[in-house]
Amino acid sequence: MEKKINSDIIIVGGGLAGMLTAFFLLQHDSSIKLTLIDNGFYSAAWRIAAGIINPVAGKRIVKTANIEQLLSSLHHSNSLLNQYTGKNYFYPMPIVRIFRDDSEQLSWNKKIQREDYLGWLSPYTSTSFPIYTPHGAGIIHCGGRLDIIGFVNDITAWLSMHCTILHDTFFPDTSLFSSNQLIIMCYGWEMMYNPLWSWLPFAPFKGEVLTIEMPRDFSQSPILNNGTYFLPLKNGTARIGATIEHDTLTYTPTEQARQELLTDFTAMTGIIPHVLAHHAGIRPGIEDRYPVIGKHPVHSNTMIVNGLGGRGALYAPYCAHAITDLLLHNAPIPHEYSVERYYHRFLP
């Protein structure tokens, strides 16, 4: 990327974070001159992700903090885009949580009795096909799947009529921008190599997913989760994923991950599936697993939306709303999402 850009706002990264931020900004003020730069990387996290949204996750069966606002932002984004395209992107689906051991069942039994989990959890009854639940199972509500590819592609189509989209690679060279330009950096895990932001505790992690052919129609099946997810799709295929690997940040699919996913899937369903595709991607994580949103401590016209981790479908709409509100109305970012919680790490 060599030429100077003549825009009020530049957004770097056209994944969930960047596209939604551009979309909301232009929804609020269509007169903003905005340029979005994206390098079209084939294995970017948003292209690999299954788009599963699980409001009550983890070994200890914990409801995601702030879940009502996160889901409300997601539904709002879905209906906003629907006004232009007539399409739906969020598919509510129950999630059958299959416990891996007795301690998970114990955690579930405690949570299901609590008032604040009412409406989120219910006992498992049965599915239309056999699943194996040696340590028990339960049903999680209000989750589902976001069609991330359709969502991002349709936002891109809308944006291409309202701003400039540059297909190019950004290199951290601030001399390209004039001082009155605002730059919002949303380009995923590789931002850890950007000297402006490298003081943040980035903790990216690799994930691998399989696309499989199902031996019979599972399109009405809920999502299954025993640590590994099974997500049925409409065309007779399904996704299984995703592994978690912190040490090797490559885009190479591995035989070990493939076996791990197939073993977990077969343990849930008894099916040995035919694998159609195997992909790897890297999630943009932050040490405390919360997103980071806001201004650079010194270069206040440089901003960040990052750290969406393994939950970009759930976090991105809320984060994009938050940065838009900060920019247009000076509304503070909630502390647990604000980059300011890490300002103490910055050494000028």
Ligand X SMILES: Cc1cc2nc3c(=O)[nH]c(=O)nc-3n(C[C@H](O)[C@H](O)[C@H](O)COP(=O)(O)OP(=O)(O)OC[C@H]3O[C@@H](n4cnc5c(N)ncnc54)[C@H](O)[C@@H]3O)c2cc1C
- Sequence-distant (≥ 6) Cβ neighbours of residue 246 within 8 angstroms: 203, 205, 206
* Site size with ligand X, rule: CB under 6 A: 42
Interaction of residue 257 with ligand X, rule CB under 6 A: no
- Strands of 52-53's sheet in order across: 52-53, 144-146, 90-92
Other C-beta atoms lying within 10 Å of the C-beta of residue 328:
13
200 near ligand X, rule: CB under 6 A: no
CB 11, CB 156: distance < 8 Å: no
Residue of the chain from 170, 202, 218, 290 that contacts ligand X (CB under 6 A): 170
Contacts with 79 (C-beta within 8 Å, 6 or more apart), sequence order: none
For residue 143, the one-letter residue type is G
In the numeric block, the tokens 């239309």 are attached to 128
Q: Does 17 bind ligand X (CB under 6 A)?
A: yes
* Residue 321 interacting with ligand X (CB under 6 A): no
Closest CA to 222 of 340, 125, 88: 125
The least distance separating ligand X from the CB of residue 40, rounded to whole angstroms, comes to 6
- Pairing between β-strand 229-232 and β-strand 292-295 as defined by DSSP bridges: unpaired
Least Å distance between CB 326 and ligand X? 17
Q: How far apart are CA 99 and CA 113, in angstroms?
A: 17
By the rule CB under 6 A, 16 interacts with ligand X: yes
Q: Does 51 bind ligand X (CB under 6 A)?
A: yes
Minimum CB distance to ligand X, residue 340 (Å): 19
Shortest reach from residue 332's CB to ligand X, in Å: 21
Which range in 56-64, 184-192, 248-256, 328-336 contacts ligand X by CB under 6 A? 184-192
Name which of 118 and 244 has its Cβ closer to ligand X.
Answer: 244
Candidates 9, 48, 182, 185: give the one binding ligand X (CB under 6 A): 48
Among 188, 222, 232, 317, binds ligand X (CB under 6 A): 188
Instruction: Verify binding: residue 155, ligand X, rule CB under 6 A.
Output: no
Quote the Cα angle for 208-234-98, to 5°: 55
State which of residues 11, 26, 38, 185 lies at the interface with ligand X (CB under 6 A). 38
Out of 10, 11, 12, 96, the only residue in the binding site for ligand X (CB under 6 A) is 12
Site for ligand X contains 50 (CB under 6 A) = yes
Helix (H, G, I), strand (E, B) or coil at 278: strand
8 Å CB contact between 228 and 265: yes
Phi and psi at residue 103, in whole multiples of 5°?
-70, -35
- Using CB under 6 A as the binding rule, whether residue 192 contacts ligand X is answered as no
* Binds ligand X by CB under 6 A, chosen from 74, 186, 240, 271: 186
Least spacing, CB of residue 90 vs ligand X, in Å: 11
CB 290 within 8 A of CB 202: no
* Residue 182 in contact with ligand X, rule: CB under 6 A: no
Examine residue 290 and tell whether it contacts ligand X (CB under 6 A). no
The set of residues, in sequence order, having a beta carbon less than 8 Å from that of 204 and lying 6+ positions away, is 189, 192, 249, 282, 283, 284, 285
Among 131, 190, 226, 322, interactor with ligand X by CB under 6 A: 190
Question: Would you say 330 and 336 are in contact if contact means Cβ atoms under 8 Å apart?
Answer: no
Q: Which residues bind ligand X (CB under 6 A)?
A: 12-18, 37-41, 44-46, 48-52, 169-170, 186-188, 190, 207, 209, 241-242, 281-284, 306, 308-314
